[in-house]
Amino acid sequence: MDHSLALYHTIFVSFFFTSTYSQSEVSASRAKPSALFVFGDSTVDPGNNNFIQTPMKSNFPPYGRDFINHIPTGRFTNGRLVSDFVASYVGLKDVVPAYLDPTLTIEDLKTGVSFASAGSGFDPMTATLSSAISIEKQMEYFKEYKSKMEMLIGKENNLDLIKNAAFMLSAGTNDFIVNYYGLGEQVTQVIYPNVTSYRNFLFQNIEQFIKELMNEGARKIAMVGLPPIGCLPEVITLNKYSATHGRICVEPLLSVATDYNINLQNKLKDMQTPESRLYFADIYKPILDMIQFGTSKLGFEEVNVGCCGSGYIEAAVLCNMNSAICDDASKYVFWDAVHPTEQAYYYVFTIIRPVVDTVLNDYKN
């Protein structure tokens, strides 16, 4: 790293910590949601998988190395997730807890929880492949949550809580890289012989899920798009395309993600109602920017391998206490061979923050 880049990296890291710890203070005077409820996969699972039988766990070192008190909570990264930064920024709390955590207090529950499960997706088969909590089951847990809260705070207060809450959905990656192009390929590609038909199937499930959320009282729902799935280190390692073209992003899968995101935005526009607002959060561009320009503009040193192990294939149990770990995860875009580092997640948050601000502004209207 040359001196100018090293200086840029120092400034970036300094900004990271300064901004992170002042977020709640900055946003304290603004209108804010009553709670944040999160659904999805490992990108927003803070530890629900700790409490189910699944190989998709990360509640052991070196996961959580840079989290509060260095605790491996079950988050698939070294620190916090985008959903944690959102909750802090809007002034709710520092981190979003896992719904299945039996130690949660009433106050923990009142300000929102995550129902997400690593390995899940919008296709029920995707969750089955990883023994994860399906999106349908996450909805059941949300309904269970509502029943609990009604007993704790009363019916009217509970209705207001849900009505004034923000909802976040982040899933879809596993549907493609684990299911359609992975373990479920032989079955799923027979049912859906082309990726467009499979995408439309996922959209049907997404629409059904969002409508059910609306029926349950949700009024502000943010939908996260797909990342550049062809750039995940594990995907690069395992893909035949990369064997021919070298360690670069898999272009055909990038096309799948961009097509999905464009059509998802159109779907969300069509689903808008007078009572509810739907928002799209684009994580594709910020992650691709880190990969393409991270070493020249953003202070990253490694953009296509993970910090854990070789960085080519390790995730979940393959990233463990016996794995070699990089010295400074903030210089890596990826923590393991699938999931970003806390530093990368924070950069994504800074780019999608205008979407969060739009949601906050809607609370004034």
245 as an active site residue: the answer is: no
Reported confidence tier of residue 240, pLDDT bands at 50, 70, 90: confident
- CB burial of 188-213 (b: ≥16 within 10 Å; e: otherwise) equals bbeebeebeebbebbbebbeebbeeb
Give bridge partners of residue 340 from the DSSP assignment.
334
Could you tell me the two tokens for 26? Answer: 């900055």
Query: 131 phi and psi, to 5 degrees?
Result: 55, 40
Q: Is the pLDDT of residue 212 over 60?
A: yes
pLDDT tens string 85-96 = 999 999 999 999
Q: Is the pLDDT of residue 338 over 80?
A: yes
pLDDT tens string 251-298 = 999 999 999 999 999 999 999 999 999 999 999 999 999 999 989 999
On the CB side of 143, how many CA atoms lie within 13 Å of its CA? Answer: 12
Reported confidence tier of residue 365, pLDDT bands at 50, 70, 90: low
Q: Is the pLDDT of residue 107 over 50?
A: yes
For the chain, percent helix, then strand, then coil, each to nearest 5? 55, 10, 40
Cβ distance 344 to 290 under 8 Å? yes
The residue-averaged pLDDT of 303-324 equals 96
Long-range contacts of 265-271 (CB under 8 A, 24+ apart): 265/225, 267/203, 267/206, 267/207, 268/223, 271/207, 271/210, 271/211
Least confident of 2-16, 102-116, 217-231: 2-16
Q: For a pLDDT cut of 90, what percent of the chain falls above it? A: 87
In this structure, the strands spanning 220-224 and 277-281 are parallel
Residue 57 is predicted with a pLDDT of 98
Instruction: Given the residues 27, 42, 58, 120, select the one marked as catalytic.
Output: 42
Does CATH number 3.40.50.1110 belong to domain 3-359?
A: yes
Residue 3 is predicted with a pLDDT of 34
289 as an active site residue: the answer is: no
Residue 29 is predicted with a pLDDT of 56
Residue 145 is predicted with a pLDDT of 98
pLDDT tens string 138-192 = 999 999 999 999 999 999 999 999 999 999 999 999 999 999 999 999 999 999 9
Q: Is the pLDDT of residue 21 over 60?
A: no
Instruction: Given the residues 123, 175, 330, 339, select the one marked as catalytic.
Output: 339
The residue-averaged pLDDT of 319-344 equals 97
- The C-alpha atoms of residue 169 and residue 158 are separated, in whole angstroms, by 21
Q: Is the pLDDT of residue 235 over 70?
A: yes
Q: What is the mean pLDDT of the chain?
A: 92
Tokens 């493609």 identify what position?
A: 176
131 as an active site residue: the answer is: no
